[in-house]
C-alpha cells in the first residue's frame, strides 16, 4: 500500500515504524515527518495543518490510505477534504473530532449517551464561573473548551488557584479562542489510564490499555506536560473491566454520534479514572456509582501512549487501519502480542516551559530488538540530528515483564546524550507499587 502519515511527532514516528513492520512492503510517506521518520518513510515538506497542501499531494499521488496523527488537522477538516477526493482516511471527520475539539460538546455527548463522567458546567462569564466553584468542592478542575496544546486543564487545589485559572482563560485570553468558554468540572479520584478504541463507524475494537505520566518530575510532581512516559498494559484495567468499557463508554458515544449524523471512524481515546470505591467517594457530587469514569475523550492516537501500545501489536497494522477507515473492522484485525512495553520521554531542559533548540543529539544508534527510539522533536542538519522541541525522544523498551521493558528503555537512554536533557526515572511506578 501507498500510505501517507500526517504529523511530525513521536506518535507519527511510531505509526510509520509500525507500518514498516508489516509483512507487506508499504510505500510510506510522512507530512512533514521528522528526523526519525526519515529512516522508515519519505518525508514530505507539508505542514500537518496545511489541509489544502496535503489534499493537493493526495490528488497528485493517490495514496491507498492516509493516517492523520494530530488533533488540529482533524478539527480543521482534513479528513472531510480527503474523503471528498475518494481517499480512504483513518481519523474522524471534523464533526466527530469535536469530541476533542470541544470539551463542552464531549460532555453533551456523554450526558446524552449515559456515559459515566464527572459533573461539569460551562461558562463564558468569569464572575459566574467563580460563583459556581463552591458547589464543586476542592480540588476542582478548570478546562478551556477548545484545543490548547495539552495545556488548557488546571487541577486547582484552592479556590484562589481555580479563580486564577478562570481569569487566565476568560479575562486574560491565555488560550485565545480555545479559552472563550471554560468548564468547571468535578475532580474524580482514583487512578488514571487510557484506552484507545479503533472505531469503524458501527463497531469498535479496544487496543491494549496504557497509562500516561503527565507531571514533569518524579513522584508526579510539577506542572502537567504532554506526557513524560507511558506503559502498556496498565494493571489497573483488569480483564473484567474491558467489556464494560466497550459497552458502557465507547459504544454509547459511537451510537450517539451516529444518531446525530456523524459516522465516527478512527481512534476514540478514552482517558479514564478508575476507582473501585466508586466515582468520587471523597467529593460532594459522586453522581455515578461506576468504578470507571471518563475524564476526557480525544479523537486520535495518544502521545506517548502510542509509542507503548503499537510495539505490542502483531498482524497487519495497515489492514486494521484501512478496515477501520472503510467501515469493515473485525476483532481479528487486532493482534496483541504477549510483550509488555514501557516508554520514557527524553525532554529538553526547561520543558514544559521555555527551552533551547538545536542541541546536538549523540548516541542514537540503530534500533535493537528490545528497544526503539522514536523521535518527537528532532530535525536533521548538516552535522547530524538536533533537538527541535520540548519532548525530544520517546524511548520504548519491550520485554516479557514490565520490569524488563522499563529496564531496557532506561538502558537505551543511558547511551543517549544532549545538553540539558532530562527524563523521569520512575515510569510505571504505580504498577510496581501494586506489587
Tell the residue number behind the cell numbers 502483531, with chain if given. Answer: 314
204 and 288 housed in the same domain:
yes
86 and 208 housed in the same domain:
no
The rounded distance, in Å, linking the Cα atoms of 180 and 169 is: 7
157 and 182 housed in the same domain:
yes
User: What SS3 class is residue 435?
Assistant: coil
pLDDT in tens, 112-164: 999 999 999 999 999 999 999 999 999 999 999 999 877 788 999 999 999 99
Check if the beta carbon of residue 76 is closer than 8 Å to that of residue 51.
Answer: yes
Domain residue limits at 201: 191-336
| 103 within a domain of the structure (yes/no) | no
359 and 321 housed in the same domain:
no
289 and 358 housed in the same domain:
no
304 and 411 housed in the same domain:
no
Our count of domains for the chain comes to 4
| 110 within a domain of the structure (yes/no) | no
Query: Which residues, including other chains, have CB under 8 Å from residue 47's CB and lie 6 or more apart?
Result: 31, 32, 53
Domain end (from 336, 356, 390): 336
197 and 315 housed in the same domain:
yes
Q: What is the band of 282 on the pLDDT scale with cuts at 50, 70, 90?
A: very low
Q: Which whole number is the average pLDDT over 239-259?
A: 97
pLDDT in tens, 317-359: 999 999 999 999 999 999 999 999 999 999 999 999 999 999 9
| 298 within a domain of the structure (yes/no) | yes
Selected residue with higher pLDDT from 251 and 289 = 251
Q: H-type helices in 140-218, by residue range? A: 159-166
Q: Is the pLDDT of residue 279 over 80?
A: no
| 24 within a domain of the structure (yes/no) | yes
Instruction: Identify the CA nearest to 294 among candidates 165, 75, 114.
Output: 114
| 111 within a domain of the structure (yes/no) | no
Residue 36: give its domain's CATH number: 3.40.50.20
332 and 211 housed in the same domain:
yes
Q: For residue 134, what pLDDT is reported?
A: 96
Residue 129: give its domain's CATH number: 3.30.1490.20
84 and 21 housed in the same domain:
yes
| 112 within a domain of the structure (yes/no) | no
Check if the beta carbon of residue 143 is closer than 8 Å to that of residue 122.
Answer: no
Q: Is the pLDDT of residue 290 over 80?
A: no
Q: Which whole number is the average pLDDT over 302-324?
A: 98
Domain end (from 293, 310, 336): 336
Residue 205: give its domain's CATH number: 3.30.470.20
Residue 420: give its domain's CATH number: 3.90.600.10
DSSP string over 243-284: HHHIIIIIHHHHHHHHHTT---EEEEEEEEEE-TT-S-TTSS
Domain end (from 136, 158, 186): 186
406 and 359 housed in the same domain:
yes
| 114 within a domain of the structure (yes/no) | no
Q: Which whole number is the average pLDDT over 11-17?
A: 98
161 and 201 housed in the same domain:
no
166 and 204 housed in the same domain:
no
| 198 within a domain of the structure (yes/no) | yes
Amino acid at each position: 500500500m501507498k500510505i501517507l502519515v500526517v504529523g511530525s511527532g513521536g506518535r507519527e514516528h511510531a505509526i510509520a515504524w509500525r507500518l514498516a513492520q508489516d509483512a507487506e512492503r508499504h510505500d510510506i510517506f510522512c507530512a512533514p515527518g521528522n528526523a526519525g521518520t526519515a529512516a522508515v518513510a519519505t518525508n514530505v515538506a507539508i505542514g500537518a495543518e496545511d489541509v489544502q497542501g496535503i489534499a493537493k499531494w493526495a490528488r497528485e499521488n493517490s495514496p491507498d490510505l492516509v493516517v492523520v496523527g494530530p488533533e488540529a488537522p482533524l478539527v480543521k477538516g482534513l479528513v472531510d477534504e480527503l474523503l471528498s477526493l475518494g481517499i480512504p482516511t483513518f481519523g474522524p471527520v471534523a464533526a466527530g473530532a469535536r469530541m476533542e475539539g470541544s470539551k463542552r460538546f464531549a460532555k453533551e455527548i456523554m450526558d446524552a449517551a449515559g456515559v459515566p463522567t464527572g459533573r461539569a458546567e460551562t461558562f463564558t462569564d468569569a464572575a459566574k464561573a467563580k460563583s459556581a466553584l463552591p458547589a464543586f468542592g476542592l480540588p476542582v478542575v478548570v478546562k478551556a473548551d477548545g484545543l490548547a496544546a495539552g495545556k488548557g486543564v488546571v487541577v486547582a487545589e484552592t479556590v484562589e488557584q481555580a479563580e486564577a485559572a478562570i481569569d487566565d482563560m476568560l479575562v486574560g485570553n491565555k488560550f485565545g479562542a480555545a479559552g472563550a468558554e471554560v468548564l468547571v468540572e468535578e475532580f474524580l479520584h482514583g487512578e488514571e489510564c487510557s484506552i484507545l478504541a479503533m472505531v469503524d463507524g458501527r463497531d469498535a475494537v479496544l487496543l491494549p490499555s496504557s497509562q500516561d505520566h503527565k507531571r514533569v518530575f518524579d513522584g508526579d510532581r510539577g506542572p502537567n506536560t504532554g506526557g513524560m512516559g507511558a506503559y502498556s498494559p496498565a494493571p489497573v484495567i483488569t480483564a473484567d473491566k474491558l467489556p464494560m468499557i466497550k459497552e458502557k463508554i465507547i459504544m454509547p458515544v459511537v451510537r450517539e454520534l451516529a444518531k446525530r449524523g456523524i459516522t465516527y471512524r478512527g481512534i476514540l481515546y478514552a482517558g479514564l479514572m478508575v476507582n473501585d470505591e466508586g466515582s468520587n467517594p471523597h467529593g460532594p457530587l459522586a453522581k455515578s456509582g461506576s468504578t470507571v469514569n471518563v475524564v476526557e475523550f480525544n479523537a486520535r492516537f495518544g502521545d506517548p501512549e502510542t509509542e507503548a501500545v503499537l510495539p505490542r501489536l502483531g498482524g497487519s497494522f495497515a489492514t486494521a487501519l484501512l478496515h477501520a477507515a472503510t467501515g469493515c473492522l473485525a476483532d481479528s484485525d487486532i493482534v496483541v502480542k504477549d510483550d509488555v512495553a514501557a516508554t520514557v520521554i527524553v525532554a529538553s531542559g526547561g520543558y514544559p516551559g521555555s527551552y533551547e533548540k538545536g542541541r546536538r543529539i549523540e548516541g542514537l544508534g540503530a534500533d535493537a530488538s528490545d528497544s526503539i527510539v522514536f523521535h518527537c522533536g528532532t530535525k536533521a542538519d548538516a552535522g547530524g540530528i538536533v533537538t527541535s522541541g520540548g519532548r525530544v525522544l520517546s524511548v520504548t523498551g519491550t520485554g516479557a515483564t514490565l520490569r524488563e521493558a522499563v529496564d531496557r528503555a532506561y538502558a537505551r537512554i543511558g547511551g543517549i546524550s544532549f545538553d540539558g536533557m532530562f527524563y523521569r526515572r520512575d515510569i510505571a511506578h504505580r504498577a510496581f507499587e501494586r506489587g
